[in-house]
Amino acid sequence: MMKLRDLEYITAIDRYLNFGRAAEACNVSQPALSAQVKKLEDRLGVEIFARSNHKVMATEAGHRIIETAKDMLKSARQIKDYAAEYRDPMSVPLKIGIFPTLAPFIVPYIAKTVHGLSEELKLIFRETPTQQLIADLENRKIDIAMVSGPITHPANNFTPVFREDFFLTVSDSHRLANHDKINAHEIPKEEMILLDKDHCLHDETLNLCQNKNTGIDVPEDLAATSLLTATHYITQGYGSTLVPALAKGFLGAANPAVNFIAIADKTYGRTIGFLSRKGCPREHILFALCDEIRSNPPENVTPIG
> What are 148-197's pLDDT values in tens digits?
999 988 888 999 999 999 999 999 999 999 999 999 999 999 999 999 98
Residues 280, 256 share a domain: no
Regarding pTM above 0.85, the answer is: no
Domain boundary among 53, 82, 111: 82
Residues 51, 120 share a domain: no
Residues 257, 200 share a domain: yes
Provide the number of structural domains found in the chain.
3
Residues 246, 102 share a domain: no
Residues 186, 256 share a domain: yes
220 SS3 class: coil
Q: Looking at 29-143, which runs of residues are DSSP E strands?
A: 49-51, 56-58, 94-98, 123-127
Domain boundary among 82, 114, 136: 82
CATH number of the domain that residue 129 is part of: 3.40.190.10
AA letter at 27: N
Dihedral pair phi/psi, residue 165, rounded to 5°: -80, 155
Residues 213, 150 share a domain: no
CATH number of the domain that residue 76 is part of: 1.10.10.10
Residue partners of 224: CB distance under 8 A and separation at least 6: 193, 194, 195, 196, 230, 233
Chain centroid to CA 157: how far? 18
Cβ 37 vs Cβ 49: under 8 Å:
yes
Cis previous bond, 150, omega within 30: yes
Residues 197, 233 share a domain: yes
Residue 3's pLDDT band (cuts 50, 70, 90): confident
pLDDT 10s digits, 185-209: 999 999 999 999 889 899 999 888 8
State which residues form the domain around 25. Answer: 4-82
